[in-house]
Chain A
């Protein structure tokens, strides 16, 4: 019996050590943390799909400097605790040289101390400006700051001489970041927020909030959220017969929103990455080439429309590839090279990192679009 036990232990140990050493020496390991399931899966799923697709493509073309990339994706389900556990696993067990993600601002803030301590470059796919402000040595991000999207809407409001607005934001990370930026930037544009309301991510009826807005002085409504809430709001606005112009965030810049809101989507204006309007962009646009490549690929692989959330992961992989090609494949080489990134056109915009800027995008990353006849039209 004892001998049997000893034999069993030995077998288990050998199998374990064998699996640990299985990674071929000629690969570069990159980790990814996406909330593939859970409430923020609208971010995590396209991000995971995109990252996998792009890594496969790079490998099919021979990898980076002749080495294949191995992408290890862990699901964080939108929970900070799970994100930190997974980050530790990527760094300490899988021994990755860089990490892409996490998907949300909260998770990114949770993982960031781990990346700093273990000295592994992290390219977050979340939008919160506090991720890279103040600048942290090992942390970069690809998603556009929410403040840039807000500015785009406020500029338009100025042009239309609208100064009193009502905001209605979803009470999750995406909405609260938007709400903060809407408030912070209002004074700069001479805009007054006369009604500030929120809704839960799973709420099924927002007529109460909108009734209150209807009774206020507001000349326009700005809604900040991701599907399905904003679609519900568009429908509720129609139900209540509210005639005020309705603005949305880039959180709904996908065909899915138009499908969900139906007729109620008509006339809504929103800031968006260039992905959804890639086909109507002028050919002088620097991003056009990457955009069309991304949209085509995604359509081919996953039979649905690629959105700019997936784009965040696309950009992160591309920036990493660029850094490894030019700088080397150790974590510190990658970090140093990332910081030198200049003038690279991705999906989210044109990236220019520097020691004082790890977000790298300007407000030109957004265009303003309007929904007309169930399709997008550029607002001039």
Chain B
């Protein structure tokens, strides 16, 4: 086997894993961009998506499209409920206490999922078979194509929503300045709720679509959430191409690190490179530099 063939496979594998991180990272970025909250429970919403899909497919035996829809709806309901019960009642919460609340939320959701679905890992059937697809000498699975397609769709929808709809623009206004947004007649609380709903549904969709590849259990959310968070930060917390590129970069770095240097240190290698990137560009690879308000 030629080294170039190997590298081709590393790249393809890295991109397909990276697309998963990107999709999850987008959920972080959307909430951040309309509320300035980093939602540490985002990973658990991804997990919930996968778990609900499992429940609808394997136990209720719904057809796939219906199961996906129901799973997204259920997770979105959970996300909205979480916002209504914990984020909304707070009037003057600091970013730090919001972090702790979302961490508490993630522990709570994980705990409930553990009791409801048990601790086992579960497999979900692939959407369209498991026959590998050849790209040159490298192979990917049909499920990867689904992930790529969904990621593209998510970016496009985001762009449209945030730039061309009134609600989307209002949500962006809230991110820039909540008070000013309130003064011009935007219902800030509603916008926060919307952003939780959108990122919950996106997160659950990500969870459903990656579950056939990664399998699912009550505790997959921690790792996936962490990687998604990294993707979003590298991308400068932009709810678009930046985060996606951040995710892809992370995936490729891991895969090349594992293949060419050391599989044990692959995450460390990826993190060292990410740190170096942050040192050179403190606002993220694709973020715009901000001037601090005094």
A212 to B10, CA, bound (A): 9
B116 in the interface (beta carbon within 8 A): no
B123 A214 Cβ-Cβ under 8 A: no
B121 A208 Cβ-Cβ under 8 A: no
Q: Given the interface contacts A211-B13, A240-B9, does A231 sit within 8 Å of B123 by beta carbon?
A: yes
Residues of the B chain whose Cβ atoms lie less than 8 Å from the Cβ of A197: 258, 263-264
A82 to B256, CA, bound (A): 37
**Interface-facing stretch out of B14-22, B89-97, B185-193:** B14-22
Q: List CB contacts (< 8 Å) of B108-140 with chain A.
A: 114, 119-123, 130, 132, 139-140
Q: Given the interface contacts A202-B220, A207-B9, A212-B6, does A232 sit within 8 Å of B255 by beta carbon?
A: no
B119 A37 Cβ-Cβ under 8 A: yes
B223 A202 Cβ-Cβ under 8 A: yes
B259 in the interface (beta carbon within 8 A): yes
Contact code string B1-41 (vs A, CB < 8 Å = 1, else 0) = 10100100110011011001000000000000000000000
B133 to chain A, nearest CB (A): 10
A214 to B3, CA, bound (A): 11
A228 B13 Cβ-Cβ under 8 A: no
Residues of the B chain whose Cβ atoms lie less than 8 Å from the Cβ of A204: 17, 20, 210, 213-214, 224
Q: Given the interface contacts A202-B222, A256-B120, does A241 sit within 8 Å of B139 by beta carbon?
A: yes
A231 to B213, CA, bound (A): 11
B122 to chain A, nearest CB (A): 8
A208 B14 Cβ-Cβ under 8 A: yes
Q: Given the interface contacts A204-B210, A209-B263, A241-B132, does A232 sit within 8 Å of B215 by beta carbon?
A: yes
B223 A209 Cβ-Cβ under 8 A: no
A199 in the interface (beta carbon within 8 A): yes
B215 A231 Cβ-Cβ under 8 A: yes
The residue in chain A whose Cβ has the minimal distance to the Cβ of B17 is A205
The residue in chain B whose Cβ has the minimal distance to the Cβ of A263 is B130
Residues of the B chain whose Cβ atoms lie less than 8 Å from the Cβ of A240: 9, 132, 139
A211 to B222, CA, bound (A): 27
A190 in the interface (beta carbon within 8 A): no
B217 in the interface (beta carbon within 8 A): yes
B282 to chain A, nearest CB (A): 28
The residue in chain A whose Cβ has the minimal distance to the Cβ of B11 is A208
Residues of the B chain whose Cβ atoms lie less than 8 Å from the Cβ of A202: 219-220, 222-223
Residues of the A chain whose Cβ atoms lie less than 8 Å from the Cβ of B132: 238-241
The residue in chain B whose Cβ has the minimal distance to the Cβ of A46 is B119
A227 in the interface (beta carbon within 8 A): yes
B141 in the interface (beta carbon within 8 A): yes
Residues of the A chain whose Cβ atoms lie less than 8 Å from the Cβ of B266: 208
Residue in B20, B141, B259, B264 whose beta carbon sits within 8 Å of that of A208 in the complex: B259
B224 to chain A, nearest CB (A): 8
Q: List CB contacts (< 8 Å) of B179-226 with chain A.
A: 210, 213-215, 217, 219-220, 222-224
A209 B259 Cβ-Cβ under 8 A: yes
Q: List CB contacts (< 8 Å) of B207-256 with chain A.
A: 210, 213-215, 217, 219-220, 222-224, 254-256
Count of B interface residues, CB-CB < 8 Å: 40
The residue in chain B whose Cβ has the minimal distance to the Cβ of A216 is B1
Residues of the A chain whose Cβ atoms lie less than 8 Å from the Cβ of B20: 204
B3 to chain A, nearest CB (A): 8
Residues of the B chain whose Cβ atoms lie less than 8 Å from the Cβ of A238: 130, 132
A171 B264 Cβ-Cβ under 8 A: yes
Residue in A211, A228, A231, A239 whose beta carbon sits within 8 Å of that of B141 in the complex: A239
Residues of the A chain whose Cβ atoms lie less than 8 Å from the Cβ of B6: 211-212, 214-215
Residues of the A chain whose Cβ atoms lie less than 8 Å from the Cβ of B3: 215
Contact code string A245-263 (vs B, CB < 8 Å = 1, else 0) = 0000000000010011011
A208 to B222, CA, bound (A): 22
A41 in the interface (beta carbon within 8 A): yes
A171 to B254, CA, bound (A): 15
B215 A208 Cβ-Cβ under 8 A: no
Q: Given the interface contacts A202-B222, A214-B1, A260-B215, does A208 sit within 8 Å of B263 by beta carbon?
A: yes
A172 to chain B, nearest CB (A): 12
A62 in the interface (beta carbon within 8 A): no
A215 B13 Cβ-Cβ under 8 A: no
B17 A37 Cβ-Cβ under 8 A: no
Which one of A204, A214, A228 has the greatest number of beta carbons of chain B within 10 Å?
Answer: A204
Query: Given A212-B258, A215-B3, 17 other A-B contacts at CB below 8 A?
Result: A41-B119, A168-B263, A199-B263, A202-B223, A205-B13, A207-B9, A208-B256, A208-B263, A211-B259, A212-B259, A214-B6, A215-B1, A228-B215, A231-B215, A239-B140, A240-B9, A241-B132
Chain B residues within CB distance 8 Å of chain A: 1, 3, 6, 9-10, 13-14, 16-17, 20, 114, 119-123, 130, 132, 139-141, 210, 213-215, 217, 219-220, 222-224, 254-256, 258-259, 263-264, 266-267
Chain A residues within CB distance 8 Å of chain B: 37, 39, 41-42, 45, 168, 171, 197-200, 202, 204-205, 207-209, 211-212, 214-215, 227-228, 231-232, 235, 238-241, 256, 259-260, 262-263
A to B CB contacts below 8 Å, 29 in the list: A42-B119, A168-B263, A197-B263, A197-B264, A198-B263, A202-B219, A204-B214, A205-B13, A205-B16, A205-B17, A205-B214, A205-B255, A207-B9, A208-B9, A208-B10, A208-B254, A208-B258, A209-B258, A209-B263, A211-B9, A212-B258, A212-B263, A215-B6, A231-B123, A235-B130, A240-B9, A240-B132, A241-B132, A263-B130
Q: Which 8 A-B pairs have the closest CB atoms?
A: A204-B214, A215-B1, A202-B223, A208-B258, A197-B263, A207-B13, A228-B121, A208-B259
